[in-house]
Structure 1
Amino acid sequence: MNRPIQPALSQFVLKVHSRCDLACDHCYVYEHADTSWRGRPKAVSDEILARVADRIAEHARRHDLPTVHVVLHGGEPLLAGPARLRRAAEELRRALRGVSALDLRMHTNGVLLDENFCDLFLELGIKVGVSLDGDKVSNDRHRRYADGRSSHHKVIRAVELLNRPRYRALFAGLLCTIDVENDPVAVYDALVELAPPRIDFLLPHATWDTPPPRPGGAATPYAAWLDAVYRRWDAAGRTVPVRVFDSVLRTLRGESSLTESLGLAPADLVVIETDGTFEQADSLKTSYDGAPATGMDVFTHSLDDVLQHPGMLARQQGIEQLCAQCRACPVVRSCGGGLYAHRYRTGSDFDNPSVFCPDLLALVTTIRDREAVVPAAPSAPPAVELPLPQRDFDALAAGFGGADTITRLAAAQLDVNQELLAAVSGCIALSDREATAAWELLTQLDAEAPAELDAVLAHPYTRPWALSVLEGRAAPAGGLAEIAAATVVRAGLDLGVTVPVQGGALRLPGLGTVRLAGGVDEAEVSGAAEGFAVRAGVRRFEIGRHEGLDGASPHWEPVRLFESDGWSVAIEDTDPLRDCHTWPVARRIAADEIKLWAEDLTVARSLIRRELPAYADAVAAGLRLITPLYAPDGSNVSAACKEAWGAIGAARPSSPDQLALLIVHEFQHVKLAALLDAVDLYDKADRALHYAPWRPDPRPIGGLLQGTYAHIAVTDFWRVRRETARGSGQRAEAEAQFARWRHQTSDAVDVLLGSGSLSDLGEAFVTGMAETAAGWQAEPVSAAARSAAERSARRHRAEWKARTEGAS
């Protein structure tokens, strides 16, 4: 594998305009020592943009850079106008295609930001950071127009625009320059109120020649100001990332900093000016006139040439390039000597500590000491906090759990799906207009039809879809549009939703599938009080909410619902995402066979309520969907998918009694999977394999736990059936099954308890299973059944041992 050649540059500040529409008196470009901006073109040319892109791609290819980070900057970059910003983005994407990923951002004062710019940035994938120094009073100290007018209201308008659902993905964060005359808490609260994804607090640029203001002669006013913000941030739960605090905390743990102003990581940033010249970090403009210059440009020099400049080399040497005072400092690995520009002093250049040295020392030390405070160890280990009531945990551990318990598990699963949907929104590319439009509609529906949206999100196959997006196996747009369309239909809203059509199927999760002619790529779905409409090309279909059960509409294949005695369960044979149950799924079930399913479910439901009441209410509360499976040999097959809460898969078994058995069996898997989302019952890093009394192969700890828990219900089923089955032959068979499964389940519980892989909660949970299994051991069975069970167990273990030892 090719390895990056070190050092390398991966961060590029590209100046697209050299002038600004504000006159901030703390600006390092126009208000400090360097005046080179006066002789540069106002806007970068197309020729320079193309050359810059080629130079960056050349460097990325040579150094095998996985990602290149480019910030469009100024002056004020929005003054460059939409056409030039588009050209910059397109040239960069052209040059880097197939070489490196491009992280493209912009830093702006925000006063010109409008919807047209935001739409452009969505298309081009440009994230936007905005400068804002806090509340109006704080911001107006420095960030004004040349005539003294405030810019605050325009910047707030820009941030509000970025916070709209359509543009939220563009928002990169807020940058705030510290003025210690401002109230730190008021500044922080004003910034947090705008819900930024990140906040950067920046020390004002200064050197030993032009030191920063220290009102009243205070020794460390900047540390005190930041500490007040830190305490506010910490007390509020650190709900928004703050780069300076996160960097200090990371460096204290030995990790890298997130900012060049802290830490010892080599500098990997270069600036390209509007005339194509390469410069070092912009902050050097505060040191002396011409300080950032390298004497190199994009036409005659490569970025590797730039890396050989003495100023760049000095910033690649870590602790060795620091002055003696810094090298001896106890917090040097966090402080890193501070920002390079802040070390400048006439006569000794940059061979000095930062002019903010006392503040940085105080800030890092204070945070270090505060984080190091550890409460006294308790006299006994604290109890593990359960995310659900203890009575629920105990009931589930015993193998059961009533309707209330299952309802709480279902609510937790809906929370998981909602969180996954939010995570999917983070995967939407800024240029993906279809996904962005669908996400905006979902945020609208969350306000207008929250119950209907939750009903769609609770569909068992929502989670497998979301995981496929998060794992990069699917794009977000289609699923988001399908969820939105199903919500619109459920709510009867007259809103049009454009939904992709895959293989002639338009999926409405939880409702059914509309079959359309081949060659149709998308269709528009809109709701109505009694049904919904689908427009595909020039054709329009009006579909009644319950139409199509027996072929009344040739286009509509609804999910069929079975309802009996307080239980409503869907026969889901329409969803293209249902194929996640190990066995292949069956095709659309014909109407006559659906009637057989309904008859068998009626009998199975009655049997469960009558003979297995400890499971009946839980099944009715949690089992919402059965997906028919295909068994080529007609055998009884069933399965559960751990990501599909509320669903099981099954081929229609040979009898309703068998259907009742597989329902309680598979729903055990469903319950346990939901519990495992909330608590850790075993060490997930454990790779040991264990004996399972019903399997020919050794099982990992998680698989053994799942199988044992499911067989609690299997054992219980046969325990009851030995008394209720028709005829002496069936009762004898049930007794033999009970004797066999109680023996094997008890053996499996013993393996679990002896595995050494269970957590404290896992030990408690399996102990509950053990108590249920132990209670069955005292129940009488015939000597023949007991003997047969023991012989079967010995034979299985001997065969398993011979097989596994032979394999090893």
Structure 2
Amino acid sequence: MGETRPLPGEADLLDGWLHSRRLVLLKTLLTRAERARLPGPAARALREHWALLEDAEHHDPVAARAALGCPAAGNWLAHALAAPPDEEFVTALSGLGTLAATVALAAGCDFRLVLPATEGRLILPGLGSYAASAPRVRIAATENTVTLTPEDGRPLSVPREDLLGHRTVPQRGLGTDAPQGGPQPRWRPLTPLPGAPAVLDDQDPHLASETGRAGLAGLLPASVTAPDEAYEWRELWARGLDLLREADPERATEVATLVRTVVPVLWKPDGRASATRLAAPWAVLTTLPQTPQEMAEVLVHEVQHSKLAVLGGVVRLNEESAEAVYRVGWRSDPRPLGAVVQGTYAHLALADLWGRLARRASATSAERAAARAHAADYGAQVDHALFLLLGSGQLTRQGTEFVEGMRHRYERLRSPGVRAGGARGNTESAADRLTNGHFG
């Protein structure tokens, strides 16, 4: 894995590791809840929701596992486990109900639940949201239909297949509070992205609830409401994947297989950045890329962060020390060693990517020259970072093996035309240009 290239069976291995991690965190949450002496209604709801998760796992383990691996599920788990031991923790536990409902829907279970709506919406992670006219919503799932009914309100029935497929469906009894004066659908699915099972997720409540900018490394969640905005995201995603398929089919398959959600975010005015939350692998948080090349770069970069986020749950690569911080070419602030491992891994993949983009048959002379310059810039940054890592004395045995894999890959990428030292004249300006452009 240290070489960054996709490996046969790697996606299944990563999926298994992530699933094990999710089960451990769920069990941790259950243990904490049992020790918290919850109020009677909250304790009964917890038992009901946990039983539904178990039913879903027994009914269709593969579908339940896939639904539980949704990035939004990871964000909720991190939020609930971090909640203080008071009413805030009890409130956070209610998210288990929406997660259990989503997993049960994917697994094909029939069930009935009453779930609380937050700020007028009931959000099913990874699927979409229901505009509720009451604080509680009854959800009833049968073999083919899912019916959502607010207390003392009109029911809305959605075909289960359409709900799971993120399809927009005709809906009667629409609301009238649209900002443009038009009706708003009571059920709003996430936007599917073409050519992959990924979706555009601008509805994750546990990203929106981050206080200020600190929780998302300076990024803020953004909503995509206008049809032309969604079209722009879908178009850039499709063109970015097409570019990857032309330059690096294996990497294109990896991205299309692993990425579950693209999360639109905002940074500083006119600024562009991307990020991965370690609690929610396979979600790419990004400002809107300007070109297919930028989209391809963001996707490759953040997939590497997700891979390391999952790997870090089963293997310790380095010993952390608050005093040990390192200067790297892609950030202006000093970084702990774990962040240097993350950044080096991602930038090595980018050096590989730009080298392949330079060799595309359809690339113009100007595109080839620009791609070679990008590859050289990233290669210079990786060269320096590998020197820091291997001399740090903080790598574990597995970490040393992993970083040696990166070094071997970097040596194979080097050529007379693209050498770490060959671009030294451009390295400093490239580092300035890329500083803080990505967040791990």
Q: Does the CA-based 8 Å contact 1:402-1:618 persist in structure 2?
A: no
Cα distance in 2, alignment partners of residues 610 and 418 from structure 1: 38
**Are 1:701 and 2:316 matched, yes or no?**
no
TM-score by length of 2: 0.83
Q: 1:601 to 1:752 in 2, by over 3 A?
A: same
Alignment partner of 1:542 out of 157, 162, 172:
157
Question: What SS does the aligned partner of 1:629 have?
Answer: strand
Higher relative contact order (CA 8 A, sep 6+): 2
Aligned to 1:132: none
- Which amino acid counterpart does residue 442 of structure 1 have in structure 2? L
Percent identity between the two aligned chains: 27
Query: Could you say if the C-alpha distance between residues 686 and 768 of structure 1 is closer, same or farther in structure 2, counting changes exceeding 3 Å?
Result: farther
Give the Å deviation of 1:470. Answer: 2.4
Matched, 1:570 2:199: yes
- Looking at structure 2, the residues matched to 795 and 592 of structure 1 have their Cα atoms a distance apart, in angstroms, of 35
Code of the aligned partner of 2:139:
V
Structure possessing the higher radius of gyration over alpha carbons: 1
Question: Residues 699 and 471 of structure 1: is their aligned pair in 2 closer, same or farther, counting only changes over 3 Å?
Answer: same
Alignment of 1:18-167 (within 5 A): none
**2:246 aligns to what?**
610
1:557 equivalent among 188, 199, 205: 188
- Give 1:447 deviation, angstroms: 2.9
Question: Mapping of 1:458-477 within 5 angstroms?
Answer: 458-473=69-84, 474-475=89-90, 476-477=92-93
Conserved 8 A contact 1:504-1:515: yes
The CA deviation string for residues 20-55 of structure 1, in whole angstroms up to 9 with x for no partner, is xxxxxxxxxxxxxxxxxxxxxxxxxxxxxxxxxxxx
1:525 aligns with 2:136: no
Matches of 2:295 and 2:429, distance apart in 1: 29
Q: 1:768 aligns with which of 395, 401, 405?
A: 405
Structure 1 counterpart of 2:204, which letter? D
Question: Aligned-pair distance for 1:402?
Answer: 2.5
2:315 is the counterpart of 1:679:
yes
Q: 1:435 to 1:755 in 2, by over 3 A?
A: same
The answer (yes or no) to whether the contact 2:79–2:206 under 8 Å persists in 1 is no
* Unmatched segments (≥5 aa) in structure 1: 1-395, 799-808
- Separation (CA, whole Å) in 1 of partners of 2:413 and 2:107: 49
| 2:14 is aligned with 1:399 | no
Amino acid aligned to 2:146: F
Query: Could you tell me how far apart the structure 2 residues matched to 1:792 and 1:568 are?
Result: 39
SS at match of 2:289: coil
Q: Is the alpha carbon distance of 1:791 and 1:780 closer, same or farther for their aligned partners in structure 2, counting shifts above 3 Å?
A: closer
SS of match in other structure, 1:587: coil
Cα root mean square deviation, aligned: 2.6
| Deviation sequence 1:289-342 (CA, Å, 0-9, x none) | xxxxxxxxxxxxxxxxxxxxxxxxxxxxxxxxxxxxxxxxxxxxxxxxxxxxxx
SS in 1 for 2:387: helix
Q: Matches of 1:447 and 1:796 in 2, distance apart? A: 53
SS at match of 1:534: strand
Provide Cα deviations, 1:396-450, integer angstroms capped at 9, x if missing partner. 1111233511221111101111221122112223533322332233333333343
Residue in structure 1 matched with residue 387 of structure 2 by the alignment: 750
Offset of residue 557 of structure 1: 1.1
1:620 alignment counterpart:
256
Partners of 2:82 and 2:145 in 1: how far apart? 35
CA distance, structure 1, for counterparts of residue 107 and residue 317 of structure 2: 40
1:732 maps to which of 364, 369, 392? 369
1:124-172 CA-to-partner distances (Å, cap 9, x unmatched) read xxxxxxxxxxxxxxxxxxxxxxxxxxxxxxxxxxxxxxxxxxxxxxxxx
CA distance in structure 2 between the aligned counterparts of 1:599 and 1:797, rounded to whole angstroms:
29
- Partner letter of residue 10 of structure 2? T
Q: 1:403 to 1:631 in 2, by over 3 A?
A: farther
Q: Does residue 488 in structure 1 map to residue 104 in structure 2?
A: yes
Give the CA deviation at 1:492: 4.5
Q: Secondary structure at the match of 2:118?
A: coil
Instruction: Indicate the structure with greater helix content.
Output: 2
Change beyond 3 A, Cα 1:498–1:790:
same
Distance 1:769 1:407 in 2: 22
Deviation at 1:507, TM superposition (A): 1.4
CA distance in 1, matches of 2:220, 2:110: 37
Are 1:525 and 1:533, in contact at CA under 8 Å, matched by a contact in 2?
Answer: yes
Query: SS in structure 2 opposite 1:654?
Result: coil
Q: Following superposition, which runs of at least 4 residues in structure 1 exceed 6 angstroms of deviation?
A: 794-798
What CA distance in whole angstroms lies between the structure 1 residues aligned with 2:270 and 2:428?
A: 30
Distance 2:399 2:109 in 1: 47
Give 1:642 deviation, angstroms: 0.9
CA contact (8 A) 1:493 1:526 kept: no
Q: Paired residue for 2:17, among 412, 415, 418?
A: 412
Please give the alpha-carbon distance, in whole angstroms, between the structure 2 residues aligned to 1:729 and 1:532.
Answer: 54
Question: For structure 1, which segment, 692-701 or 463-472, has the greater mean C-alpha deviation from structure 2 after superposition?
Answer: 463-472
Superposed CA deviations along residues 440-487 of structure 1, whole A, max 9, x for unmatched, are 333333333434432321111222322332233433531111122213
Q: Deviation digits for residues 741-782 of structure 1, max 9, x if unmatched?
A: 111111111111111111111111111111111223324259
1:356-395 to structure 2, matched below 5 A, reads: none
SS class of match (1:696): coil
Equivalent residue number for residue 513 of structure 1: 129
Secondary structure, aligned partner of 2:20: helix
* Separation of aligned partners in 1, 2:431 and 2:156: 61
What 5-or-longer segments of structure 2 have no aligned partner? 172-184, 209-214, 433-440
Determine the C-alpha separation between the residues in 2 that align with 1:488 and 1:614.
Answer: 33
Query: In 1, distance between residues paired with 2:304 and 2:204?
Result: 24
Larger deviation, residues 746-755 vs 402-411: 402-411
Cα distance, 1:715 vs. partner?
0.9
C-alpha separation in 1, matches of 2:421 and 2:324:
31
Distance 1:403 1:797 in 2: 34
Provide the aligned length of Structure 1 versus Structure 2.
Answer: 396
Q: Cα–Cα, structure 1 residues 779 and 665, in superposed 2: closer, same or farther, change >3 Å? A: farther
> How many angstroms apart in 1 are the aligned matches of 2:295 and 2:147?
37
1:337-352 equivalences under 5 Å are none
Measured in 2, the distance between the counterparts of 1:592 and 1:483 equals: 30
